[in-house]
Copies of this chain bind each other. A is one copy, B any other.
């Protein structure tokens, strides 16, 4: 379809990249046409043409008699331009947008959530009816800085079930789980800092860390947690400020942290004075809870975050942060400065839906349904030569290895043409060493066509 890139394109791309990375800040005079041509080993006319086209695009400005300058205010943080271009199929932002934009017709075994009809619809309807009868203030007023006290108290009780002790004053409500991590990044990081992530990890962590202009370093993940030797080496080599992980049901692998790994990991973190974000959004899917870093550590250097998007509703946003009281104070200031207030009514509706016995029963049935879907999906995938890396104890995800020699991005591309959105391994991998993996959401694999389309793509590859 598209023509191969020309030399002119190469010059344009080089200039764009330098503007995006601020190697040429706005208003900078660019190297002269002659100098640029010499530096790139190209003809002057090629560079002139490239510069002229960039002027037409508004990327450069020409000042007659003076040269070419990086254009002014428009030197924005375009995430898509801050990193080497990846195949769209493994670009985290592209996958997120694709999943969020896909119509109801698309099949989405690659997406990260339950189908709408698995969610707690009856509870949401009941809670919305109750909200319609709430006092006027509840319908109109801003939330308090930390957010709805009743929901924070409920969260404190829920956390106690995994031995995480948090007072309600140590809990801050946020707009979402991602927003929770975003606030923490703002609080603990500055541009140029290094953050450790699992390799593989939830793909949006890459985009989020990029938005903070920080550097992500991957630590290989094993079936019982991060590889501790690699973790220790990364601490020595990169002096990271933060590590982000899931302890319970790891995304994308479905693995869970073991108690000895939790202990040794925290010792390493303590020696390096490393802060840890434990993303706990899959907690309600667990059958036997894995150990929590936040429980071992007592919310000293570990910060736990979560949300209700995976089990209750993703249509009303609400997440939370549990951390040291002094950190919560500072995070509340940052929340006010950057979003002013959370949604008191959303928090109230979610609180209502979570209380009452209905939610507990609903989640029991979801866990059973997921266990069945997990078994069926694994059986069907094995029939295609696709093997689970580890058989998860619970949850939505199974991380699978494709038959040898097959590239997940190729498979994803082929399936997308047939209306099936997959999640290829390298979207989750900092090292880009997961090209032979796919993450499957077993709740989104009930339609026979998923496997038909997959089989076709595999045999074509």
Minimum distance in angstroms from A302 CB to a CB of chain B: 11
Q: Does A371 contact B (CB under 8 A)?
A: no
Minimum distance in angstroms from A316 CB to a CB of chain B: 5
Q: Mark A194-207, 1 if CB is under 8 A from B, else 0.
A: 00000000001001
Given known contacts A73-B242, A139-B121, A204-B337, is B79 in contact with A330 (CB within 8 Å)? yes
Chain B residues positioned under 8 Å from A215 (CB to CB)? none
Chain B residues positioned under 8 Å from A143 (CB to CB)? 100, 315
Q: Does A433 contact B (CB under 8 A)?
A: no
Interface pair B113/A136, CB less than 8 Å apart: no
Interface size class of A (residues with CB under 8 A): 35 or more
How many monomers of this chain does the complex have?
Answer: 2
Interface pair A301/B339, CB less than 8 Å apart: no
Q: List A164-216 residues whose CB lies under 8 Å from chain B.
A: 175-179, 182, 186-188, 190-191, 204, 207-208, 210-211, 213
Given known contacts A317-B175, A339-B179, A344-B315, is B129 in contact with A79 (CB within 8 Å)? no
Interface pair B339/A317, CB less than 8 Å apart: yes
Given known contacts A76-B327, A132-B128, A333-B93, is B211 in contact with A314 (CB within 8 Å)? no
User: Which residue on chain B has the smallest CB distance to residue A272?
Assistant: B72
Minimum distance in angstroms from A285 CB to a CB of chain B: 16
Pick the residue among B96, B124, B142 that contacts A113 (CB under 8 A): B142
Interface pair B136/A334, CB less than 8 Å apart: no
User: Which residue on chain B has the smallest CB distance to residue A312?
Assistant: B140
Interface pair A76/B330, CB less than 8 Å apart: yes
Q: Does A455 contact B (CB under 8 A)?
A: no
Task: State the CA gap A27–B132 with chains docked (Å).
Answer: 53
Interface pair A315/B179, CB less than 8 Å apart: no
Task: State the CA gap A204–B337 with chains docked (Å).
Answer: 6
User: Which residue on chain B has the smallest CB distance to residue A239?
Assistant: B27
Pick the residue among B27, B72, B204 that contacts A340 (CB under 8 A): B204
Q: Does A71 contact B (CB under 8 A)?
A: yes
Q: Does A80 contact B (CB under 8 A)?
A: yes
Chain B residues positioned under 8 Å from A97 (CB to CB)? 145, 332-333, 336
Residues of A in contact with B (beta carbons under 8 Å apart)? 22, 26-27, 71-74, 76-80, 93, 96-97, 100-101, 104, 113-114, 116-117, 119, 121, 124-126, 128-129, 131-133, 136-145, 175-179, 182, 186-188, 190-191, 204, 207-208, 210-211, 213, 239, 241-242, 272-275, 301, 309, 313-317, 327, 330, 332-334, 336-346
Q: Assuming A78-B187, A141-B315, what are 15 further A-B pairs, CB within 8 angstroms?
A: A26-B241, A76-B187, A77-B187, A79-B333, A93-B337, A100-B145, A100-B336, A116-B137, A116-B140, A124-B139, A132-B132, A142-B314, A176-B339, A210-B337, A314-B344
- Ordered by A's residue number, 22 sampled pairs between the chains whose C-beta atoms are within 8 Å are A73-B274, A76-B188, A76-B330, A77-B188, A78-B330, A79-B330, A101-B144, A116-B136, A116-B140, A119-B136, A121-B140, A128-B139, A129-B132, A139-B313, A176-B339, A182-B339, A191-B191, A204-B340, A315-B343, A317-B341, A317-B343, A343-B343
